[in-house]
Every structure is written in structure tokens, then in C-alpha cells.
Structure 1
Amino acid sequence: MMPGGLVLRDVHRPPAPPFWPPAPGWWLVVAVLVVATAIFLFVRRRRARRRAAAIALFDASLRAATTPTQQLGGASELLRRAARRVRDDADRLDGDAWLAFLDTPRTPFVDGPGRLLLDGPFRPSIDATEADDAMHLARERFIELMQARR
């Protein structure tokens, strides 16, 4: 005790901030993460729906074709329609220019099975295996073109 009767106490620290509720900055971080996740899921779902719609359109259009020649003709027509989404004059390309437009590293049209799209629809008969390979490429490229943005 001090003379005069005053009792001095040690300095007390304030209590630690509580865990809940978090500071306003943390609410902002959580809100940004929620919005970013929602946008990511929305874009992903939309892309999946567009892909499924393109696949359904391609398959439904070719289901009516009974011969490989008719299937190739239908695939060529669908590709030309879809190509206009990327380039306005793409449907008027012909020959190697058309195949070069369709060509990608994953879908070889110029030097691959896709070359059959040039004259396949006009042949009297086509080997079914060759036609299937060309149709597979045409389907992949159609989906890519349908998902392309201008």
C-alpha cells in the first residue's frame, strides 16, 4: 500500500476481439468469393447446355440420312451454317480453302479424314468406316463452331 491509502493496480489489456462477427473486410471477401463462384458455375452450366444443344442438333439432323453419302451432305451443310458464326463469308469458301478453315490441330480436314467432306456427298458410294471418321471430325468441329463467339 502506498502512503495515503491509494491502491494502484497493474495496466489491464483490452480483451481480444471476438471471432464472430467478422470484420467488414471479411464479409467483403466472402461476398466476392460467392459471386465469383456463382459466375463460374453459371458460365460452366451455360457452356454445357450449349454443347448439349449443338450435339442434339447435329445428331438429329443426321438421323434422317440413311446413307453415308447423305450423312456427309448433311454434315457439310451444318458445318457451313455454323461457320457463319465465326466468319461471314465462310459458307462461300470451297475446296482447300474450306478445309483449311475447318482445320484445327484436333480436327484434321486438309490432310485427314475430313477431306471426304469435299467430294463425299457427290460420290455414289462411300466406305462406311471412312464416312464415320469424317462424321466424327465434322461433329467435333460443328460443336466448336457453335460454341464460338464473335
Structure 2
Amino acid sequence: MVDGLVLRDLHLSTAPSWWPPAPGWWLVAGALLALAFGVLGWRLQRLRRRRRLLALFDAETSGTDANEVVAAISSLLRRAGRRIHPDADHLAGQDWLAFLDQGREVRRFDGARGALLLEGAYRPGLDLDDVADLRAAARERFIEWMARR
């Protein structure tokens, strides 16, 4: 007893339950959920775009005449090159091949593959088997350049 006052024992209240969470936690959960759906949507959009680009490349280069296939590959690579540099379609010869290999450790468009790309549309007696290796390298570079944002 202090100065006539009677002190009572302290009774602690019960701890708040974990459910339902406070409104701030609902906002955090909603923001995380929106972020997860946003990232998932972005990834799916990139995947769909890549598939469309692959289908475009395959459709353009699926001919039976090897010379036409090489011409289509060259055209698609020039179209993709313009996305990287506006004057890329004006490059010719070794400058064009160097531009295709720019930023790569392994040069894919030198030697026979590069010569086939430069001259293949005009070579008589070209076989589709000769173009398969060039087509694979060009497909990879086309997708790499066109899928950029």
C-alpha cells in the first residue's frame, strides 16, 4: 500500500492470434502475389515470342531449293541485324560476317559457313545438306537478336 492506494497485480492480455493477419500483411501478400503473377506473365510472353520467332524462321527457311533457303536466311539475318544497328543491312562481305559474330567468343560465320552465306544464293548445284549447318547457326543468331527487348 502506497499512500493509501491498493496496487493490484498486473494481468497481461493474451497475445494476438496469428490469424487473421493484420491488414498490412494482407497488403504485403497481395503485392508479392501481384509480383509473382507479373514475373510469370513476363516469362510466358517471352517464351511465346521466342516460339513465334522460331516458327517464322522455320517457315521462311523450309524450302526445297537450297539457293532460296540461303537467300531467306540472309534476308532474315539482315532483318534481325537492323534491330541491333540501323545500318547493319548495308554491310557487305567480311564486314557483314564480322558483324554477325560480334560479341561472341566462338566465330560461327567465318570460313565455309560465311562463304556459303555470302555466295550460297548464287552457287549452282547447292544441296540442302550443305545448308543445314549454316541454318542452325543463323537460327541461333536470329533468335538471339530478335528476342532482345
TM-score w.r.t. structure 2 length? 0.83
Change (3 A) 1:133 1:37: same
Alignment match, 1:141: 141
Work out the CA distance in 2 between the residues paired with 1:106 and 1:21: 58
Alignment match, 1:49: 48
Size of the alignment, in residue pairs?
144
Q: Deviations over 1:59-95 (max 9, x none)?
A: 11122x2122221111111111121122111111111
Alignment match, 2:21: 22
Question: How far apart are 1:144 and its partner, in Å?
Answer: 1.3
Question: How far apart are 1:30 and its partner, in Å?
Answer: 1.1
Alignment match, 1:13: 12
1:82 aligned to which of 80, 83, 98: 80
Matched, 1:72 2:70: yes
Work out the CA distance in 2 between the residues paired with 1:139 and 1:25: 49
Q: Secondary structure in 2 aligned to 1:50?
A: helix
Q: Deviations over 1:94-126 (max 9, x none)?
A: 111111211134661135735421112221133
TM-score w.r.t. structure 1 length? 0.82
Work out whether residues 107 and 137 of structure 1, in 8 Å CA contact, stay in contact via their aligned partners in 2.
Answer: no
Alignment match, 2:108: 108
Moved more, 46-55 or 24-33: 24-33
Letter in 2 for 1:139: R
Work out the CA distance in 2 between the residues paired with 1:9 and 1:112: 96
Work out whether residues 82 and 142 of structure 1, in 8 Å CA contact, stay in contact via their aligned partners in 2.
Answer: yes
Letter in 2 for 1:109: F
Gaps of 5+ in 1: none
Alignment match, 1:131: 131
Work out whether residues 64 and 128 of structure 2, in 8 Å CA contact, stay in contact via their aligned partners in 1.
Answer: no
Moved more, 108-117 or 70-79: 108-117
Change (3 A) 1:19 1:106: farther
Work out the CA distance in 2 between the residues paired with 1:119 and 1:102: 16
The CA RMSD measured in Å over matched residues stands at 2.4
Work out whether residues 99 and 115 of structure 1, in 8 Å CA contact, stay in contact via their aligned partners in 2.
Answer: no
Change (3 A) 1:53 1:72: same
Letter in 2 for 1:126: L
Question: How far apart are 1:49 and its partner, in Å?
Answer: 1.0
Change (3 A) 1:15 1:106: farther
